[in-house]
Amino acid sequence: MLKKILIANRGEIAVRIIRACAELNIRSVAIYTEPDRYGLHVKRADESYSVGDDPLTGYLDPLGIVNLALQTGCDAIHPGYGFLSENAEFARICEQKGITFIGPSADVIHRMGDKTQARNAMRAAGVPVTPGSEDNLKDLDEAVELANQIGYPVMVKATSGGGGRGIRRCDSEQELKQQFPRVISEATKAFGSAEVFLEKCIVNPRHIEVQILADGEGNVIHLFERDCSIQRRNQKLIEIAPSPQLTESLRNYMGSLAVKAAQAVAYKNAGTVEFLLSGDDVYFMEMNTRVQVEHTITEQITGVDIVKEQILIASDQTLSYRQQDISYRGYALQFRVNAEDPKNEFLPSFGRISHYYAPGGPGVRVDTAIYTGYEIPPYYDSMCLKLIVWALTWEDAVSRGQRALDDMRLHGIKTTAAYYKQILQHPDFQQGNFNTSFVPDNMQLLQYSDKRHPSELALAIAAAIAAYSAA
């Protein structure tokens, strides 16, 4: 069993991993850069170490992080999500230095991180993929020729892309000629690679992903699916488990495809297989070789602690469950409450949190690293908390989400919480009838009132008085 884990991350996911370590009696080590000196993950870990003054460099230094793990007596590193979590070189350095990387092997990360290699592996395994290029595109002429063969619209994607970056939809040859160099430029800047591929654009699909767990003995299971169709510009906003739009037969089919995908690449640890669903047609999109932001809702409906399973698998233990042990109960929703102003083009809203009151009650979970007085730094992702609700029925889950969003008080910054309440009130959402076009097709939901509840005004006045007194 692992004894001491360095967490190569920050914020709420670092806190989440620290909690799993505590339950397994494993010591946790946090790292931080200067803006995170007072971060909650720093306060909660058994040990914490600075990795420099620069906001980002320390979190993105594979060799420096591995050497720190060795110096502090750690036998493993958990990368969380983002930063170096899908960096094959980071995993390879861990392997070379004798540190357990809590995730798949470097070779698998590289193979599935290269979208072209991933698509070819899925084709070979019999997992359906969208029509498109089998290799990286050599030039624009090849892209135009292929697009004319498969038909517009098409998507130009960075081979090493992710997080909604390095991707453009093209509805015509003219757009393709305009967007092709832009994707190459963005891919080069964001991922250090100019390689791109092309695939058929599936118009207004549902975005469905399946959580899998795999151990070193070849055992692979799925934990059912999550519906991630509520998104803006390829960035997920609200996630749901299970999807209210799937039949049981389609659910089982997609679960079996995810297991087949993992087996095809000898996957080990937690991962997510993402699909596009158009009618009953299923297309493989990509595989995320890490824990997902939205793993929480799968935990809520299945009762499986995914982060603890990650650690146990990395400790060379076999899976705690077999497929027949896994069932789901009820519905869970996750709201990514971001420090953004939806009424102002979702402009980031970083700053000091003057007052924070977490929602609670039955079926409510909050994963966060913020607190009253915390200063949200402008260097990282804008997500400040994840609000998760669970209920036995879809209708009750939606109602509970509304109530929990109403319960929450977060002052000092703008957030997306009020916008999410508008989404929950939309008839199509309440009926479970939506796809990836829901957000752009319902821009009127951004016209909500900024009028505050009386209790919020009282808190704002109290916070202002307290700030004045302190000055």
Cβ partners under 8 Å of residue 4, min gap 6: 26, 27, 28, 29, 72, 73, 74, 75, 76
Which strand (E) or helix (H) includes residue 165? strand 165-170
Which position among 119, 251, 290, 336 bears the catalytic label? Answer: 290
For 142, 160, 323, the CA distances from 185, given in Å and listed in that order, are 18, 13, 44
180: tokens are 């092709």
Of 230, 238, 239, 167, residue with least CA distance to 210 = 239
Annotation says 44 is catalytic:
no
Q: Are 292 and 334 in contact (CB under 8 A)?
A: no
| Three-state DSSP state, 137 | coil
Q: Could you identify the residue written with the tokens 């370590």? A: 21
CB proximity list for 98: less than 8 A, separation 6 or greater: none
Distance in angstroms (rounded) separating the CA atoms of residues 19 and 308: 9
Answer yes or no: are the C-beta atoms of 86 and 270 closer than 8 Å: no
Of the CA atoms within 13 Å of residue 73, those in its CB half-sphere come to 8
> Phi and psi at residue 148, in whole multiples of 5°?
-65, -30
**How far is 174 from 177, CA to CA, in rounded Å?**
5
Side-chain-facing half-sphere of 170: CA atoms under 13 Å:
29
Closest CA to 146 of 129, 132, 128, 167: 132
The terminus-to-terminus CA distance of the chain in angstroms comes to 51
Active site residues: 290
